[in-house]
């Protein structure tokens, strides 16, 4: 049975900004590894 993770709107916005930063300054692979970990 999996767990459901709920994030706040603020956390969602911060994650989007972080993902944008990773894409702009690093690469898609770095972003994917960050999300996986």
Q: What is the pTM of this model?
A: 0.61
With vertex at residue 28, the alpha carbon angle to CA 22 and CA 30, rounded to the nearest 5 degrees, is 60
Report the pLDDT value the prediction gives residue 16, as an integer from 0 to 100.
92
Length of the chain: 37
Tell me how far apart the alpha carbons of residues 23 and 2 are, in angstroms, rounded to a whole number: 29
Report the pLDDT value the prediction gives residue 37, as an integer from 0 to 100.
83
Tell me how far apart the alpha carbons of residues 29 and 13 are, in angstroms, rounded to a whole number: 21
Report the pLDDT value the prediction gives residue 33, as an integer from 0 to 100.
87
Report the pLDDT value the prediction gives residue 32, as an integer from 0 to 100.
84
Tell me how far apart the alpha carbons of residues 22 and 1 are, in angstroms, rounded to a whole number: 32
Report the pLDDT value the prediction gives residue 22, as an integer from 0 to 100.
82
| Best CA proximity match to 32, nearest among 19, 21, 14 | 19
Each residue's pLDDT tens digit, 1-37 = 689 989 999 999 999 998 888 888 887 888 788 888 8
């Amino acid at each position: 049975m999996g767990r459901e993770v709920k994030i706040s709107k603020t956390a969602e916005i911060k994650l989007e900004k972080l993902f944008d930063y990773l894409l702009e300054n690093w690469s898609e692979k770095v972003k994917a590894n960050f999300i996986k970990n």
